[in-house]
Amino acid sequence: AKLEAVDRHGQTPLNLAARHGYADVVKVLLAAGASADQADSDGWTALRAAAWGGHTQ
């Protein structure tokens, strides 16, 4: 699978995992080389998506 594949909103797997609080998935994606700096179509990075969702891990 492509780490930087995007959905219709420009969200990557990392962005979605961070937004929903799947910390273990986030760790795996980052270890595999996913870019933490890639923003979605609204300009949100995975870090911002995680913060918006209230996820601090």
The dihedral formed by the CA atoms of 29, 54, 10 and 26, expressed in degrees to the nearest 10: 0
Among 16, 15, 9, CA closest to 46: 15
Helices (H) and strands (E) in the chain, counts: 3, 0
Where in 1-57 does DSSP place strands (E)?
Answer: none
Give this prediction's pTM: 0.89
In CATH, 13-52 is 1.25.40.20: yes
Q: pLDDT tens digits for 6-39?
A: 999 999 999 999 999 999 999 999 999 999 999 9
pLDDT value, residue 2:
86
- Report whether 4 contacts 35 (CB < 8 A): yes
